Chain A
Amino acid sequence: MRLSLTPVLLVLFEIARLNAQTLGEAERLWKAHEYQSAVKVFDALIAANPKNADYRVRYGQFFFERYDPEEAVKLFSEAIEIDPKNARAHLGLATVLAEQFSGKANESADKALELDPKLHEAHALKARIALEDDDPKKAGEEADAALSVDPADVQAIAVHTAIDLLKDHDSTWTAKLRNRAKGFETVAHFFIINRRYEDGIAYYRKAIAADPELWTAHSELGVNLMRLGQSDEAYKELELAYNKDHSSNAATRNSLKLLDTYKEFKTFKTPTTILVLHSKEAEALRPYFEAEMKRAMAVYEKKYQFKLNRPIQVEVYPNHEDFAVRTMGLPGLGALGVTFNDVVAMDSPSGRKPGEFHWASTLWHELSHVYILTLTNDRVPRWFTEGLAVHEETATTPDWGDRITPDIIAAIRDKKLLPVSEIDRGFVHPKFPAQVIVSYFEAGQMCDYIAEHFGESKLLDMAKEFAKNRPTVDVIREQLKMEPEAFDKAFLAEVEKHTEVTVKNFKEWTAGLGDLNKLARAATPNNDELIAKGRALEFFYPDYVEAGNPYVIVAKACLAKEDKACALDEYAKYSKQSGRDADAIKKYAELLKGQGRLKEAEAALDRLNFVNPLDQDLHEKLGTLYLASNDAALAVREFGALVALHPIDVAGSHYNLAKAYKAQGLGDKAREEALTALEAAPDFRPAQKLLLELSGEGPKN
């Protein structure tokens, strides 16, 4: 039987026409900002053509543009499943991954190029990733590859422009950008990720001038103005982006919400500092933060040999997600603090679980950035400024800072530390989950190594060279008089030597720690066994002071045996290793106090102020100790903080503050506090006696 072809062809033509119309309709709606309608059409299109990978790719691009990367990844992945040879699907996936700074973005871009070597956008994307990794050579090559296919590729031209501008060179590429807003926006991005916020802001302004409807640039401009503390203009830009871009950008929304909460913060100014604290904790935190800011600034002025010509602003956020939004525009940031020129934003001690966060280390870390970024005019590689900041956390106070975590031990064991010439990649495009943390540690150790072998002043010499915008390898060669490879070899040998015992026994330690904790939880634990096994684990991994650490278990076992000397010894080791559990340190202080070692008890407790100055019990204990040792000013600080935290025992806390003021010789203030105590509890006898005494009617001590 022979069929007439005409009806079949008609049907096929009709399907094709409908599909074309439908895709066209989706595109039209997209362009007209009718996004909900576009979604419906795309959905219908995909339902009618479940095997069409191209439609899914286009739909994925739509979601990526509309700030829904998860949906975009899903669609690109489905497209790849349908058609593994769809180069644009791989490119789409690479683009989303690159936006998320995923180490896997390059792999997807490579796959796209393998399938379609003329896909210039993939080369441009690889150029962008390389420059983010501070590899301008590779970035230039990839940009050239893109331009060989499409000489007008704006992203490739923007990468070339950024390479020159980041080196402070005039760029012939700038003219080739012509007046293309997307190109300016990309240049701005590179300034921002290199912490050159003013330059970045200037380029976002150029992008907006070229295309006033580039809402992503308005949003980024707003976010970066906010970073530099220019809240009014930031609000205007963000509001514009929010209203015009159909509210879809989470960073814009979050930043606007955060700006709306700024009225809940209090600002304290001195000639050299601006401290911004949330009202609910401002009075309690202020003395500790201001004192540490001043102390750190005095140390850095001496060390870096210059004074800042403007005050440093420190903003402290009790809600971690507010800090994250303040930093990135988005929640979910793992960092504790971030520096934008001379503005530091950081978590408050109340933003984390007690004991989890050493706020003073973070403050010193960030303030180091302010000095180094100023000294180098922001021309400093990430590894050096981060490494130096980590180095500073413990340089002045050795029992601060973070210790080597099990993730870092595993990275050393698995030879995952990066050479100095490539270490920046570990910060920007991590290839394994802990690589950012590992890179911080490694950079910090590199600076420790340089300070130890070449002198602390060598770090300043290197910073001054980086200020000339010179690459890491050149600075290493000139300042350390060795090839980068030789530096890596010597440095790694030292790291391996220091961690040899831990790395070698890591498996045994991991299993042993679990067993030790199980033994400790037994109804009637064998204390001798706990002490012996715990001490063996301490030897394997002395830096481990986190949950379930052997020091505290051994100390408790010692106490169960009524061996206070043994417990003191364990708590002392724990404290020296930067152990931060409040209960353990308080027990340590109690034991010291019991032995009459009041100053040591004070020092042990005072360390906790740098971890959790919102601990009421800590202030009460420490204030009482200071009062007993006639350190009235510190007693006033402690009881003042306690009063500011609005404790349950209002009368008791004001009475203690009154006693501290009296000891300080401030009779009027003491009387005022005694009256406040009595207002809360009029029959409070000790406060009554103190009031009479302060009024000249009672016995005088």
Chain B
Amino acid sequence: MGCCLRFALFTLASALAAGPAFATTYFVTVAGLGGEPDYETRFALLATDTDKILRGVGGTDRVIETLKGAEATKAKMTAVLGKIASDAKAQDVFILMMIGHGTFDGAEYKFNLPGPDISGAELAAALNRIPATRQLVVDMTSASGGVTAALKKDGRTVITATKNGTEKNATLFARYWVEALRDPAADSDKNEVVSALEAFRYAQTKTAAFFTEQKRIATEHAQLEDTQRAAAFPLVRYGNAALVVKDPAKQALVAKKEDIENKIDALKYQKDLMAPDDYKRQIGALLLELARTQEQIEK
């Protein structure tokens, strides 16, 4: 993660922690048509789990909408998106997670729902009406790679479970995405926030490992074009790390901490150009200094 990105995340985390006066994150999870009992149960369970995890985080800075089973119709989905379009503001964050089956006929992607499906173009139109300038769409259906072109827009990050519309097998990605939301191991930078990038990498790695271990040909290859933007979408947070330090006396320490963090990032960029011992000595000193500073902040 680069120094500028770290700064962006820090700012974002602070903003989110500060409450709804600054920004609201809208989460919409939709579990589409299963087609058969096993898939119906599986998709609904994943949506329920996601809903539970998101609500478990608490706070008033998030609005959570979940559609599953017979409820997850095109009409309901567009109604939920329409409501958000009227409520949300430019500084808000919008996150859509789609679980289920999708189809792609070579030209058009469709998300399978009870009753009429919703096409990629229809979805894009609904999302375009939402004023939130930062949007994340996580389409975890089969053939979801077919939706990328339709959803392309500045400020919108798209994650898909498959690399294109021709990967048509039912996907595993959603299972590991939801697992990432509750597994602290997904929080790879240990800042007590699981970002969309961390969840993506977790799910992508676990999905690939599944196919390797089971000696099967991988039938899905998750895609994410803009990793930097994905890192700036916090999905779940736990612990106190995101809390803003309000004590004015400690602001200098916070500034010092940020300075050290930036130096660490800068040093990491230089790693390949440095003598290993020199790098080791310098990074060790900076990490120790960072630990000391954090200790002082928490005193």
The chain A residues found within 8 Å of chain B, CB to CB, are: 350, 352-354, 647-652, 675, 678-685, 687-689, 691-692, 695, 697-698
Decide if A691 touches B188 in the complex (CB within 8 Å): no
List B173-194 residues whose CB lies under 8 Å from chain A: 184-191
Decide if B287 touches A691 in the complex (CB within 8 Å): yes
Q: Which residues of A contact B284 (CB under 8 A)?
A: 675
**CA distance in complex: A649, B205 (Å):** 11
Decide if B205 touches A679 in the complex (CB within 8 Å): no
**CA distance in complex: A685, B202 (Å):** 21
**Cross-chain contact of A692 among B190, B280, B295 (Cβ < 8 A):** B295
Q: Which residue of A lies closest to B260 (CB)?
A: A682
Decide if A648 touches B205 in the complex (CB within 8 Å): yes
Q: Which residues of A contact B202 (CB under 8 A)?
A: 648
**CA distance in complex: A649, B179 (Å):** 14
**Cross-chain contact of B186 among A648, A685, A688 (Cβ < 8 A):** A648
**Cross-chain contact of A680 among B189, B206, B292 (Cβ < 8 A):** B189
Count of chain A to chain B residue pairs whose CB atoms are closer than 8 Å in the complex:
77
**CA distance in complex: A680, B190 (Å):** 9
Q: Which residues of B contact A698 (CB under 8 A)?
A: 295
Decide if A687 touches B190 in the complex (CB within 8 Å): yes
List 13 A–B pairs whose Cβ atoms lie within 8 Å, in order of A's numbering: A350-B213, A648-B202, A649-B184, A652-B185, A675-B280, A675-B284, A680-B188, A682-B264, A683-B191, A687-B190, A689-B295, A691-B288, A692-B288
Decide if A682 touches B287 in the complex (CB within 8 Å): yes
Contacts A651-B190, A683-B190, A687-B190 known; A678 to B268 CB distance under 8 Å? no
**Cross-chain contact of B215 among A353, A685, A689, A691 (Cβ < 8 A):** A353
User: Shortest beta-carbon distance, B2 to chain A, in Å?
Assistant: 13
Contacts A353-B215, A648-B205, A697-B292 known; A678 to B185 CB distance under 8 Å? no
Decide if B188 touches A682 in the complex (CB within 8 Å): no
Contacts A648-B205, A685-B294, A688-B295 known; A679 to B287 CB distance under 8 Å? yes
Is B283 part of the binding interface, using a Cβ–Cβ cutoff of 8 Å?
yes
**CA distance in complex: A445, B185 (Å):** 47
**CA distance in complex: A682, B291 (Å):** 8
Q: Which residue of B lies closest to A649 (CB)?
A: B185
**Cross-chain contact of A650 among B188, B264, B283, B291 (Cβ < 8 A):** B188
**CA distance in complex: A695, B188 (Å):** 24
Contacts A681-B189, A687-B190, A692-B291 known; A675 to B215 CB distance under 8 Å? no
Is B261 part of the binding interface, using a Cβ–Cβ cutoff of 8 Å?
yes
Is B290 part of the binding interface, using a Cβ–Cβ cutoff of 8 Å?
yes
User: Shortest beta-carbon distance, B123 to chain A, in Å?
Assistant: 30
Decide if B292 touches A684 in the complex (CB within 8 Å): no
User: Shortest beta-carbon distance, B295 to chain A, in Å?
Assistant: 6
**CA distance in complex: A680, B1 (Å):** 10
Decide if B205 touches A681 in the complex (CB within 8 Å): no
List B192-236 residues whose CB lies under 8 Å from chain A: 201-202, 205-206, 213-215
Q: Which residue of B lies closest to A693 (CB)?
A: B291
Q: Which residues of A contact B287 (CB under 8 A)?
A: 675, 678-679, 682, 688, 691
**CA distance in complex: A452, B207 (Å):** 49
Decide if A688 touches B188 in the complex (CB within 8 Å): no
A354, A678, A687: residue with the most chain B Cβ atoms closer than 10 Å: A678
**CA distance in complex: A682, B292 (Å):** 12
Q: Which residues of B contact A651 (CB under 8 A)?
A: 188-190
Contacts A353-B215, A688-B295 known; A683 to B283 CB distance under 8 Å? no
Is B243 part of the binding interface, using a Cβ–Cβ cutoff of 8 Å?
no
Contacts A648-B201, A651-B190, A679-B283 known; A689 to B291 CB distance under 8 Å? yes
List B269-291 residues whose CB lies under 8 Å from chain A: 280, 283-284, 287-288, 290-291
Decide if B201 touches A652 in the complex (CB within 8 Å): no
Decide if A678 touches B189 in the complex (CB within 8 Å): no
**CA distance in complex: A17, B185 (Å):** 81
User: Shortest beta-carbon distance, A236 to chain B, in Å?
Assistant: 34
Q: Which residues of A contact B189 (CB under 8 A)?
A: 651, 680-684
User: Shortest beta-carbon distance, A532 to chain B, in Å?
Assistant: 26
Decide if B185 touches A648 in the complex (CB within 8 Å): yes
Is B75 part of the binding interface, using a Cβ–Cβ cutoff of 8 Å?
no
Q: Which residues of A contact B294 (CB under 8 A)?
A: 683, 685, 688
Q: Which residues of B contact A691 (CB under 8 A)?
A: 287-288, 291
Is B244 part of the binding interface, using a Cβ–Cβ cutoff of 8 Å?
no
Q: Which residues of B contact A648 (CB under 8 A)?
A: 185-186, 188, 201-202, 205-206
B187, B191, B288: residue with the most chain A Cβ atoms closer than 10 Å: B288
Decide if A683 touches B288 in the complex (CB within 8 Å): no
**CA distance in complex: A679, B190 (Å):** 11
Is B241 part of the binding interface, using a Cβ–Cβ cutoff of 8 Å?
yes
Q: A352-B215, A648-B186 are in contact. List 6 more A-B contacts (CB 8 A).
A: A648-B205, A683-B261, A683-B294, A684-B190, A685-B241, A688-B287
B185, B291, B294: residue with the most chain A Cβ atoms closer than 10 Å: B291
**CA distance in complex: A350, B212 (Å):** 9
